[in-house]
């Protein structure tokens, strides 16, 4: 099936990046959000990010103008009904996602493919509440979308081969690389990465090393571009904890138990960069380790 138009639900951190890469690849993009402010912010961010690519000689002025011109926004979700592909990138709450699909369904063409960018919700469960579980997939982009090369394609138990093949081609068209995952908790990247970050927090909790020595060990000893605690702060410690809980609940294995120190930091509101403090204090010019 040929995809030409893409509807994006949610104009937040992920939605604006997804709109950016699809528009640059030549797709018509229609983006919606419950917040008009979020849509306005998304458009100005896309403009700035395209401008940065222009200044870095990655795209030409006309590519920038054409891409920007291909993105439209609407406050009305059902306007997305005529799109060939829907990418849901709204807030990570299952009830919100169910409601979005429920509202959209009566307005969709029969062949439209539905996808969700969810990091942790079961694709099979989201799909089962729609009229087209065979045309439903997980389409998991990494943050920041214009920069990160990988896209995880997650097959629900009912996803058909045609839908999967179509999305493989779409990923190629937007110049990214896909990794295919079956629908189990946290898919591939987060299944491996987040327990590693959790283990780094245990290493800190048990006093094996300080924040500095743990991060330095993984940067210089394992060639990680960022230390695991620094990375946890970047992702958001609340997000890391939520993913550990999904793994713990979904796989029922004690090896996924969230570190009590991670829980304590989240309880304190020390969520990492976004709250100004996590394993580092971000109030000054350079981040200072807190333990
Ligand atoms: P965000 O909070 O930045 O943006 C979510 C947007 O959804 C907000 O602008 C909000 O107003 C909007 N929204 C809420 N309810 C809506 C509705 N009913 N209709 C339309 N819009 C609605 O969140 P985000 O980080 O962009 O995450 C979005 C999705 O992407 C989540 O499912 C998340 O798990 C997933 N994801 C996030 C990351 C990441 O690093 N942030 C990475 C991969 C996947």
DSSP 280: E
CA-to-CA distance for 31 and 233, rounded, in angstroms?
A: 29
Catalytic residue among 88, 120, 122, 152: 152
Ligand 1: centre distance to CA 15 (Å): 7
Q: Mark which of 135, 154, 182 sits at the end of a domain.
A: 182
Task: Collapse the DSSP code of 23 into the 3-class scheme (helix H, G, I; strand E, B; otherwise coil) and give the result.
Answer: helix
Known binding residue 56? Answer is no
- Which residue puts its alpha carbon closest to atom 31 of ligand 1? 92
My answer on whether 140 and 211 are in the same domain is no
Known binding residue 33? Answer is yes
My answer on whether 28 and 79 are in the same domain is yes
My answer on whether 108 and 202 are in the same domain is no
Contacts of 224 (CB under 8 A, 6+ apart): 218, 231
Domain harbouring 68, CATH code? 3.40.50.720
User: What pLDDT, on the 0 to 100 scale, is given for residue 115?
Assistant: 98
Ligand 1: centre distance to CA 76 (Å): 17
In the residue annotation, 152 being an active-site residue is answered as: yes
- Which residue puts its alpha carbon closest to atom 17 of ligand 1? 34
Ligand 1: centre distance to CA 170 (Å): 21
Contact between 72 and 30 (Cβ < 8 Å): yes
**What sign has the CA pseudo-torsion 129, 131, 133, 135?**
negative
Contacts of 285 (CB under 8 A, 6+ apart): none
Q: Mark which of 138, 163, 182 sits at the end of a domain.
A: 182
In the residue annotation, 198 being an active-site residue is answered as: no
Contact between 156 and 136 (Cβ < 8 Å): yes
My answer on whether 40 and 157 are in the same domain is yes
**Bridging pattern class, strands 280-281 and 177-182:** unpaired
User: What pLDDT, on the 0 to 100 scale, is given for residue 120?
Assistant: 86
Pocket test of ligand 1: the residue of 44, 45, 89 to mutate, having most ligand atoms within 8 Å of its CB, is: 89
My answer on whether 16 and 155 are in the same domain is yes
My answer on whether 118 and 200 are in the same domain is no
My answer on whether 130 and 197 are in the same domain is no
Contact between 289 and 279 (Cβ < 8 Å): yes
Domain harbouring 238, CATH code? 1.10.1040.10
In the residue annotation, 98 being an active-site residue is answered as: no
Ligand 1: centre distance to CA 223 (Å): 31
- Which residue puts its alpha carbon closest to atom 1 of ligand 1? 12
Q: Which atom of ligand 1 is nearest to the CA of 38?
A: 9
User: What pLDDT, on the 0 to 100 scale, is given for residue 193?
Assistant: 97
My answer on whether 112 and 144 are in the same domain is yes
Q: How many domains does the chain have?
A: 2
Task: Collapse the DSSP code of 168 into the 3-class scheme (helix H, G, I; strand E, B; otherwise coil) and give the result.
Answer: helix
Chain segment 243-253, per-residue pLDDT in tens? 999 999 999 99
Contact between 156 and 137 (Cβ < 8 Å): yes
My answer on whether 14 and 73 are in the same domain is yes
- Which residue puts its alpha carbon closest to atom 7 of ligand 1? 90
Q: Mark which of 147, 182, 217 sits at the end of a domain.
A: 182
In the residue annotation, 117 being an active-site residue is answered as: no
- Parent domain of 249: 191-289
Ligand 1: centre distance to CA 188 (Å): 20
My answer on whether 163 and 201 are in the same domain is no
Largest alpha-carbon pair distance within the chain? 57
In this structure, the residues whose C-beta lies within 6 A of any atom of ligand 1 are: 9-15, 32-35, 38, 89-92, 96, 100, 117-119, 140-141, 143
My answer on whether 23 and 134 are in the same domain is yes
Return the closest-CA partner of residue 168 out of 59, 66, 105, 85. 85
pLDDT per residue as tens, the chain (291 positions) = 799 999 999 999 999 999 999 999 999 999 999 999 999 999 999 999 999 999 999 999 999 999 999 999 999 999 999 999 999 999 988 999 999 999 999 999 999 999 999 998 999 999 999 999 999 999 999 999 999 999 999 999 999 999 999 999 999 999 999 999 999 999 999 999 999 999 999 999 999 999 999 999 999 999 999 999 999 999 999 999 999 999 999 999 999 999 999 999 999 999 999 999 999 999 999 999 999
Task: Collapse the DSSP code of 136 into the 3-class scheme (helix H, G, I; strand E, B; otherwise coil) and give the result.
Answer: strand
Catalytic residue among 16, 119, 122, 178: 119
Ranges assigned E (strand) in 98-163: 113-116, 136-141, 150-155
My answer on whether 108 and 172 are in the same domain is yes
Known binding residue 93? Answer is no
């Amino acid at each position: 099936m040929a995809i030409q138009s893409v509807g994006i639900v949610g104009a937040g951190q992920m939605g604006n990046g997804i709109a950016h890469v699809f528009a640059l690849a030549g797709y018509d993009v229609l983006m919606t959000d419950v917040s008009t402010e979020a849509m306005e912010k998304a458009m100005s961010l896309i403009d700035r990010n395209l401008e940065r690519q222009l200044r870095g000689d990655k795209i030409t002025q006309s590519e920038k103008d054409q891409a920007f011109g291909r993105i439209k926004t609407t406050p009305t979700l059902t306007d997305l009904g005529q799109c060939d592909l829907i990418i849901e990138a709204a807030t990570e709450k299952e009830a919100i996602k169910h409601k979005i699909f429920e509202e959209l369904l009566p307005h969709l063409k029969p062949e439209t493919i539905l996808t969700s960018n969810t990091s942790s919700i079961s694709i099979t469960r989201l799909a089962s509440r729609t009229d087209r579980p065979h045309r439903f997939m997980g389409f998991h982009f990494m943050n920041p979308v214009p920069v990160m090369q990988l896209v995880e394609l997650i097959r629900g138990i009912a996803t058909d081969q045609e839908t999967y093949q179509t999305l493989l081609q779409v990923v190629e068209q937007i110049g990214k690389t896909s990794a295919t995952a079956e629908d189990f908790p946290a898919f591939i990247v987060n299944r491996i990465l987040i327990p590693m970050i959790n283990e780094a927090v245990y290493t800190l909790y048990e006093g094996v090393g300080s924040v500095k020595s743990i991060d330095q060990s993984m940067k210089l000893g394992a060639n990680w571009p960022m230390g695991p605690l620094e990375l946890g702060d970047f992702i958001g410690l609340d997000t890391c904890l939520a993913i550990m809980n999904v793994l713990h609940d979904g796989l029922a294995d004690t090896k996924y138990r969230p570190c009590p120190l991670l829980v304590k930091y989240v309880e304190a509101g020390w969520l990492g960069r976004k709250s100004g403090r996590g394993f580092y204090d971000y109030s000054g010019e350079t981040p200072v380790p807190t333990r």
